Amino acid sequence: MAVTKSNIPDRLAQTLVLDSSASGTAENNVFTGVTLADKIYQVVIDNSAVGAATYLRGQYATTYTKTGASVATSADDIRLYAPANQVVTYIFPEGLAFTTGLSFLATSDTSDVHTTAYTDPGATVIVKILGGT
């Protein structure tokens, strides 16, 4: 058996965003003031305390905008699914690049057209986002 040696590449993730109580209220511009994150490499949604499916809805924007009648102008850039009572990890090896910011919320709502307040998942949802350059 041959032993292969190689250098460890530069780390992908340099910044961790942790929301220990994600809800239907948006967390706006979560990477503000951070210089080492313009891509998302991993998202972990801990939905283990919630008895229903939860969606992490995100927009590449400094402020999350409700998706109203004109969905094309304020649609979600990211929508990730977490089944009831599960922890889900999404990995993006190439990174999801964003330039103007990242804002997100957690909700049980599935509709693309949403003009009222988003529905809270009903229990604690924990979101971890690893960002890097």
Distance CA 9, CA 28 (A): 32
Average pLDDT over residues 51-77: 80
> pTM value?
0.85
Q: How many residues appear in the chain?
A: 133
Model confidence pLDDT, tens digit, residues 91-130: 998 899 998 899 999 999 877 666 677 888 988 999 999 9
Torsion sign, CA atoms 106, 80, 108, 103: positive
Is the distance from CB of 66 to CB of 115 less than 8 angstroms? Answer: yes
In angstroms and rounded to an integer, the radius of gyration of the C-alpha atoms of the chain is: 16
